Chain A
Amino acid sequence: MTGEVFGFWCISAVLVSSALAVVLTKNLFHAVLWLALALTGTAGVFLLLDAEFLAAVQLLLYAGGIVTVVVFAIVVTEKLVGERLSQTSRRIGGGAVASAALAWLIISSVMERPLATTRMPMDGDVTKAIGETVLTRFVLPFELLAVLMLAGLLSAVYFARPEE
C-alpha cells in the first residue's frame, strides 16, 4: 500500500464522517465545527492531488472565512444557551432515499466509464502556472469575479444595514 492510497483512505474516512456529522448532529454550533473539519479534509484531498495552492486557499477562505461568518450568523439568530440551539430534521427517510439514489446514479455512471488511472506529468511550479493562466487566458472571468465580489459586498452591507 503506497502512501497516496493510505492517505486517500484516511482523508476519505475523515471527510465522509465529518460530512455526515454536519447533516446529522443536533447542535447547530457543533455542525459548523464539523463543517470546518470537512473543509480541512477537502484541503487534504487537494494536497493529495498536488494542488498545494488550492489547499491553502481552501483553508484560508473556507475553513477560516466561511466558518467565522456562519458562527456570527448563529450568534445573531440563535440563543447560545438552552434548547433553542438544538434543531430537528424532517423527512429523513425521503431525504435519505433521494440522496442515496443520486449517489448510486453518479457512482454507477462513473464506474462504467473508462477513466484515467494514471496522472499526467505536471512539470514545473503548479502555483506559478495557475497564476499565469489566471492573468492571461482567464483574465476576463477574473475581472468579472472582482465585479461580482464588489456587488456581493455591497448587497451584503445593504441587506444587513441598521433599521431606520
Chain B
Amino acid sequence: MGLQAYLTLAAIVFSIGLFGVVTRRNTISILLGVELMLNSVNINLVAFSRFSGDLSGMVFTVFTICITVVEAALGLAIVILLFRVRRTATADHLDLLKG
C-alpha cells in the first residue's frame, strides 16, 4: 500500500472525530472525538516517516502521544470540576460566559 492509502485512512478517521466533536452534547463524548482526531494525526506522522525513511516523524509521534495524554487528563479534570460546580456534564448547559 502506498502513502496515499494511509493518508486517506487518517483523513477519514479525522473527519469522523470532527463529526463527533460537532454533534455530541456530552463533554466527555466531545473529548472522545478529539482523541480520535489526534489519533489520526499520529497515523499521518508515522506514515510520512516510514515512506520518507526519516525517523523524526516517529519521534514526534511519541511527543504527540505524551501531549495527548496530558490533554486528556486535564480535560477530564476540567469536566469533573465543572460537574462539581454546575451538576451537569452537558455542553449546552455550560453557558457561564454567555453575555
Chain B residue at smallest Cβ distance from A34: B32
Q: Given A23-B24, A57-B62, A87-B24, A110 and B50 touching (CB < 8 A)?
A: no
Between-chain CB contacts (< 8 Å), 20 pairs: A16-B13, A22-B16, A23-B17, A45-B43, A73-B76, A74-B28, A77-B79, A87-B26, A89-B25, A95-B23, A102-B11, A117-B2, A117-B4, A120-B52, A129-B55, A134-B62, A145-B66, A149-B69, A152-B73, A160-B81
Instruction: Provide the main secondary structure of the chain B interface.
Output: helix
Residues in A65-80 with C-beta less than 8 Å from chain B: 65-66, 69-70, 72-74, 76-78
Return the contact of A148 from the options B16, B36, B70, B83 (Cβ within 8 A): B70
Return the contact of A51 from the options B8, B11, B50, B63 (Cβ within 8 A): B50
Q: Which residues of the other chain, A, contact B83 by a CB distance below 8 angstroms?
A: 76-77
Over the window 2-30 of chain B, the binary record of Cβ atoms lying under 8 Å from chain A Cβ atoms (1 yes, 0 no) is 11111111011111111110111110110
Task: Tell me if B13 and A88 are in contact (CB < 8 A).
Answer: no
Q: Which residues of the other chain, B, contact A138 by a CB distance below 8 angstroms?
A: 56, 59, 63
Count of chain A residues with Cβ under 8 Å from any Cβ of B?
84
Residues in B47-97 with C-beta less than 8 Å from chain A: 47, 49-53, 55-56, 58-59, 61-63, 65-74, 76-81, 83-84, 89
